[in-house]
Amino acid sequence: MIQEKIVNVLVNQIVRKRPARCLPLPGYFLIAVSFFSCVQETWYRSESGLQYRVIQSHEKNAATQMGCVVKLQISQRLNDSTLISKNAAPRYEIIVPGVVMPYSYTEPMVYGLHEDDSILVVQRVDSMIAKKCWTKKPDWSDADDQIITTIKILRVFLPDPAHPGKMDSLVNADKTK
C-alpha cells in the first residue's frame, strides 16, 4: 500500500516534469526584489550643494588629500551632447585649500578618494550661475539642464615633506609618458 503511494507520487512528478519542491512564482519575485533592494546607489551632497556618487574600487591605494596632485580621466555631457570626451588626454588637478572651487567637479576629491575610484558628478546650470561659476548662461544650455561629469582617478601623487620637489618630478615624468 505504501509502495503504491510512493510509486504514484513518483509517476506524477515524472509525468508533470516538476521537481518535488518547486518555488512558486511569487517566491522568485520576492527573492529578486530583496536582492535588488540590497544594491543601493548612495548620492552625496557637498557643502556647496554639489551632488555626486562615488563608485569605489576594492583596492585601497593612495588616498587624495590636501596638497596632492590627482591624474584624472574625465568625460562630461549635457543632455545628448558631449562636452569633454573620455578619449581626451588625462588632466592633472592639484588639491589645495582655496584652489578647489566650490561646486566644481574636483570638489569631491577633497574627501579622501582612492586611486581607481570613479565619481559621477551632477552640476545644474542654474546653480553654476547662482554660485558664480559662470557669469551668464551659455547659449547652448537651458537653466534647468544638468551637466553629468564622470571622473576616473588614475593616479594620486602624494606630497613628501622630506623631498618637496619629488612630487613635481613624478608628475612631470608621468605627463611625458
For residues 76 and 149, the answer to whether their CB atoms sit within 8 Å is: yes
Count of Cβ atoms closer than 10 Å to residue 81 Cβ: 10
Assigned CATH for 44-175: 3.10.50.40
- Judge contact between 97 and 65, C-beta under 8 A: no
Cα separation of 125 and 145, whole Å?
A: 6
Digit-coded pLDDT (tens) for 59-103: 777 888 888 888 999 999 988 888 888 888 898 888 876 666 788
Q: Name the pTM for this structure.
A: 0.67
Joined grid coordinates for residue 125: 546650470
The domain locations on the chain are: 2-38, 44-175
Spatial distance between the Cα atoms of 39 and 17, rounded to a whole number of angstroms = 35
